[in-house]
Structure 1
Amino acid sequence: MTEVTLNHAFLMSSYNTASERALAHIALDMHTGTELRVLVGGLGLGYTAHAVLASSRVAAVEVVEFLPQVVDWLERDLVPLSPMLKADERFSTVAGDIYSILAAQPREKFDLILIDVDHAPDDRLSRTSDFFYTREGLRQARLHLARGGILGVWSYAESSPFAQALQDVFQDVRIEPVTFFNDLIEEETVDWLFFAR
């Protein structure tokens, strides 16, 4: 099992990746197109990107990772899925801030934008993502989506304010709980996935 912490704060783990994979699978199920271009915010241990690449309907996956160290781990094969990700010519990754990218004018459009950076909309790693969770920020992020595009956001907790903001900006909003039993702490855990188009 691989776990990553930053300043003693838990960031990511390979213990259970069901919700990270579901972020990709559900978004793909919601989009009927082919030759899909996918933007992933947050490389983590690579499970969301790997799940996206499993689809033959995907033409390209661009991952934006805030921590240069995580990109370096990928390049040095320290991330469990490194060999498989790097071997897929559809995959690319850069060090950067996904929230700054989505707040700017779009340089290109994506069919899927999948975000797994903050712990939750109400539990953020830094203030740089504050704008994204506002109605204005979501309207700006929507400009980066191609017609019929899907925005997906991972969270460890429900967030009624974020759900309402999504409903105010997008026509179709879907919220999916992903439940699993964590035998390390012997209790059921629920992650939450927010989707909008």
Structure 2
Amino acid sequence: MIARFEELDWQETRMGELTLRRRADPATGELIYEVKLKDEYLMSSLFTHAEEQLATLGLAAAEGTDLDVLVGGLGLGYTAATALHDSRVRKLDVIDALPAVIGWHERELLPMSAQLVRDPRVTLVHDDFFAVARRHPAPEGARYDVILLDVDHSPRHTLDPSHADLYTSAGIESLARHLTDRGVFALWSDDPPDADFLTTLSSVLSDCSAHVVEFDNRLTGGISSNTVYIGTRR
């Protein structure tokens, strides 16, 4: 029988103490997985609908077949796992800056882990997504039909100050170099739609939109929402 709280992993990272824990819901017995960075909750398996919708909405905006997809931010794996449900996905690269998070999945500690690490389309990459976005891709380098990003809380609330430049016109222009023609960029945000950021996104990409994703919040008993931004390379 599992204790109400069980620490599955704890590691010191460049951004602070990172903890993966599992707890049993006292009412239902459901196992809930939570990630904390220092004293801040990063994610919980209680709330995955918006992360799944990030993949669903991003891929719905993509054209063609044989799609190459890049996910920035592995986390609990729900965005990447949802992307795999689209039969058009032929390659899925997932970047995470924290080797501990990749290790959790390689050890199959999380509900989505086996699905990800056993699928031959998936490659887990230890790298800094933001540094990758700044680089000029080599002429023969990979370009993606879809890029899905879920790392920061929002364009205004970043986990690290070094991430902020991505959410400027110059940052989005750099990221767009990694997209194919008509490639799609989709971004998760914990904040309501931000008109200023949508204007910035639209200055570089076309067909930009902000989708409000609502979900039941079992902790508050009410409805919560996140935002998914979508834009297409011109």
1:178 offset after TM fit, Å? 0.3
When Rg is computed on C-alpha atoms for both structures, the one with the higher figure is: 2
How many pairs were matched up? 197
Matched residues in 2 for 1:67 and 1:195: separation? 26
Bigger fraction of residues in helix: 1
Partner of 2:206: 171
Deviations 1:79-110 (A, max 9, x none): 22111111110001111110110011123210
Matched residues in 2 for 1:90 and 1:153: separation? 22
1:188 offset after TM fit, Å? 1.5
1:148 offset after TM fit, Å? 0.9
Q: 2:177 aligns with which of 116, 121, 143?
A: 143
Residue 75 of structure 1 pairs with residue 106 of structure 2? yes
How do 1:100-179 residues align onto structure 2 when only pairs under 5 Å count?
100-106=131-137, 107-158=141-192, 159-179=194-214
The answer for unaligned runs of 5 or more in structure 1 is none
Matched residues in 1 for 2:182 and 2:110: separation? 33
The answer for unaligned runs of 5 or more in structure 2 is 1-31
Structure with greater contact order relative to length (CA < 8 Å, sep ≥ 6): 1
SS at match of 2:214: strand
Q: Percent identity?
A: 37
Give the TM-score taking structure 2 as reference length: 0.82
Partner of 2:44: 13
- RMSD (CA atoms): 0.9
Partner of 1:189: 224
Letter aligned with residue 130 of structure 1: A
Letter aligned with residue 185 of structure 2: L
Give the TM-score taking structure 1 as reference length: 0.97
1:170 offset after TM fit, Å? 1.1
Deviations 1:113-148 (A, max 9, x none): 000000111110001211100001101111110011
Matched residues in 2 for 1:85 and 1:180: separation? 25
Partner of 2:74: 43
1:181 offset after TM fit, Å? 1.9
Letter aligned with residue 149 of structure 2: I
